[in-house]
Chains A and B, each alone.
Chain A
Amino acid sequence: MNTLARIAAQSAWNRRGTLVWVLLSIALATALLLTLERLRTDIRASFSQAVSGTDLVVGARTGPVQLMLYAVFRVGGATNTISMDSLRAIEAHRAVAWVVPLALGDSHRGFPVLGTSTAYFERFRYGDQQALALSEGRAFSATLDGLYEAVLGAEVADRLGYRPGQRITLSHGMAAVGGELAAEHDDKPFTVIGVLARTGTPVDRTVHVSLQAIEAIHLDWVGGAPLPGVRIAAENARKFDLEPKRVTAALVGLKGRAAVFNVQRFVADYEAEPLLAVLPGVALDELWAVVGIGEKALLAVSGLVALVSLAGLVAVVLAGLNERRRELAVLRAVGAGPRQVLWLLAAEGAMVTLAGALLGAAVAAVGVLAAGPWVQARFGIGLVAGAPTAAQWALFGAVIAAGILAALAPGWRAYRLSLADGLSPRT
């Protein structure tokens, strides 16, 4: 086999002009497949890591998926609010460590505004138990002096070009970016005092203010519209009772995971108002089942890409076969059997596929490494340039296996031809 291997190598080198294209097309397919798979895994990870370290998400009684959509992803509206009394009752449960209230409903130029407590910045976790960090400025204070302070998510700051010190006004409801102006809370402008570091979660698209600020801007409002003839100036608002009565949802942390079902039942059975508590992990999985169709489309595209490039491999090898009939006849004349001819073609296919797949894997790795920060900044997907996932290994193996099989098809034809040609190919 040593002689054959050398002949295979020299023969392939002799046709390197053609084989380079086959190799490149396999490399391209492999790189695409691996990158798509990486993207798929990381999109899913980004999605499922939108919230972590929170044991329960509590809101008015609705579907778990809907609660997750508005409480975590800031998509859609809450059907109902929950009272602060209920939250205080939950906080008093002996298994509960902390409660972070969330008040949603306002927006700034299409980005959702979240009213919350300062505990949010300490308790909220995303990804692999990562805490929020400020890239600029500081968090809003819990005092009345800091009433009109806002902390921006990274994408809000990037897109709108805001730095700390920027004055912004909030809009009532969720007005689309550039759409018709909703009612503005322009009488009570906010000052940006901090910008959060990028997380790749919905936090990046959120404007954070205090719960009291949400109360303050709605003092002179009833039912989604300003009260006619009533104007409470920004400064005067501080004199009112700004303690919130109702919020949209709450994040709940427990002292120990073991009590999670206990607390969940406690919330569900709470008598003063109908409440719902969901385990974020479970609800995210349910949500992924809904939005995961895109993932299947990615998979299908990956498969098609692989199929097309392998078909290209077969086509190129088959097209080259006629040129090689004379070569194969010479080899047979000096004592090579059809089996060795078959081996020669299969080995070439395997080597070209392997080299192409390795090149593709390298391209994919470099691509992820190079484009990672950009993808993170642009789409909030944290691409991990780490060791290949199990699925990536499987895809890599599948490409090589398919490449060898694809090379066997022309090999088989060459075997048949070398039998039918006898000593003189009729070309």
Chain B
Amino acid sequence: MIDLAHLQFRWPGAAAPVLDIAALHIADGAAVFLHGPSGCGKSTLLALMAGVLVAGRGQVMLQGSDWAAMPAARRDALRADRIGLIFQQFNLLPYLSVLDNVLLPARFSRARAQRCEGGPVAAAQRLLGQVGLDAALWPRRADRLSVGQQQRVAAARAMLGAPPLVIADEPTSALDAARRDDFMALLLAQCRASGSTLVFVSHDERLAAAFDERISLPVLNRALHGAQDPVNEHAQQQAQQQAQKQAPNQEPGAA
């Protein structure tokens, strides 16, 4: 599903890359748990996988297509067709109804609309039912719902039209424990049912048990190696200087 090779990414104007990954393979239909502390580059990696950001060096392939090789408009179309995204919070357009929010991917992607059995509206209603949202809530404005309900709407939207890949970026961090477990079970069941690959990102390792595969980004991301606090560049420099003192013959940062 996803193949990364020799990936390096730095934000414009930044001196050092935030991501440096030699290789990563995610199999079709897998449910992958990606974890690491805040600031280790999780969100950036997801943006690269979703083709929202493009790698400066190396390759990020989705089902065999290299994001960097595509023009921007093609990336937008491909993302709409193949990827369902769930964020930590604020997933919905507050001024649209619950149902219209779920229907958004079908509006931007013909492929997603065509994969909806019985049409996008029927599929959206079915999904909303499956995530446990009452029909009475469907015509409501999205911002009238509780946070937990909003996350379930976001899950339904990500699943609409059965995209091959679902990316979830800490979708449970705003939920309490009981709701979190419900949401996890729901998301995994939905992905299995539609055969979608799931990349689930969290700093909460208690959630990892239900997944096929666990990936630790701090281990994978070579840009962090040799630094305790990846966000703090000063600390990183100090760490590198420390490393140089201890091993003057070695190149700094080399693992």
Give chain B interface residues in 101-133, CB to chain A under 8 Å: 104-105, 107-109
B71 CB to nearest chain A CB (Å) = 10
Could you say which of A174-182, A228-236, A250-258, A325-333 contacts chain B? A325-333
Given contacts A3-B108, A335-B76, A339-B73, whether A14 and B52 have CB atoms under 8 Å apart is no
For B80, give the chain A residue with the smallest CB separation: A335
Q: Assess whether B93 is in contact with A7, with CB atoms less than 8 Å apart.
A: yes
CA distance A332 to B104 in the complex (A): 11
Q: Is B20 an interface residue (CB 8 A)?
A: no
Chain A residues near B12: list those with CB within 8 A.
420
Chain B residues near A337: list those with CB within 8 A.
72-73, 75-77
Q: Assess whether A334 is in contact with B43, with CB atoms less than 8 Å apart.
A: no
Q: Assess whether B105 is in contact with A334, with CB atoms less than 8 Å apart.
A: yes
CA distance A195 to B105 in the complex (A): 77
Chain A residues near B81: list those with CB within 8 A.
335
Give chain B interface residues in 44-102, CB to chain A under 8 Å: 44, 46-47, 50, 52-53, 72-73, 75-77, 79-81, 85, 87-88, 90-96
Chain A residues near B157: list those with CB within 8 A.
334
Q: Assess whether B95 is in contact with A334, with CB atoms less than 8 Å apart.
A: no
Give chain B interface residues in 144-196, CB to chain A under 8 Å: 157, 169
Chain B residues near A335: list those with CB within 8 A.
76-77, 79-81, 104-105, 108-109
Q: Assess whether A10 is in contact with B96, with CB atoms less than 8 Å apart.
A: yes
Give chain A interface residues in 294-342, CB to chain B under 8 Å: 326-327, 329-340
CA distance A423 to B44 in the complex (A): 8
Interface core residue of A330, A339, A420, A422 (most chain B CB under 10 Å): A330
Give chain A interface residues in 1-42, CB to chain B under 8 Å: 3, 7, 10-11, 13-14
Q: Assess whether A336 is in contact with B76, with CB atoms less than 8 Å apart.
A: yes
CA distance A330 to B77 in the complex (A): 15
Interface core residue of B46, B108, B169 (most chain A CB under 10 Å): B108
CA distance A327 to B95 in the complex (A): 10
Q: Assess whether A332 is in contact with B52, with CB atoms less than 8 Å apart.
A: yes
User: Chain A interface: which size bin?
Assistant: 20 to 34
B17 CB to nearest chain A CB (Å) = 15
A275 CB to nearest chain B CB (Å) = 79
Chain A residues near B50: list those with CB within 8 A.
333, 423
Q: Assess whether B87 is in contact with A424, with CB atoms less than 8 Å apart.
A: yes
Given contacts A333-B87, A335-B108, A337-B76, whether A422 and B93 have CB atoms under 8 Å apart is no
CA distance A330 to B104 in the complex (A): 10
Interface core residue of A3, A332, A333, A338 (most chain B CB under 10 Å): A333
Q: Assess whether A424 is in contact with B43, with CB atoms less than 8 Å apart.
A: yes
For B11, give the chain A residue with the smallest CB separation: A420
B18 CB to nearest chain A CB (Å) = 11
Q: Chain B: residues with CB nearer than 8 A to chain A?
A: 11-12, 43-44, 46-47, 50, 52-53, 72-73, 75-77, 79-81, 85, 87-88, 90-96, 104-105, 107-109, 157, 169
Q: List 19 A-B contacts (CB under 8 A).
A: A7-B93, A10-B95, A14-B95, A333-B52, A333-B87, A333-B91, A334-B104, A334-B107, A335-B80, A335-B81, A337-B75, A339-B72, A339-B73, A340-B76, A422-B47, A423-B46, A423-B169, A424-B47, A424-B169
Q: Chain A: residues with CB nearer than 8 A to chain B?
A: 3, 7, 10-11, 13-14, 326-327, 329-340, 420, 422-424
5 closest residue pairs by CB, A with B: A335-B80, A337-B76, A335-B108, A14-B95, A422-B47
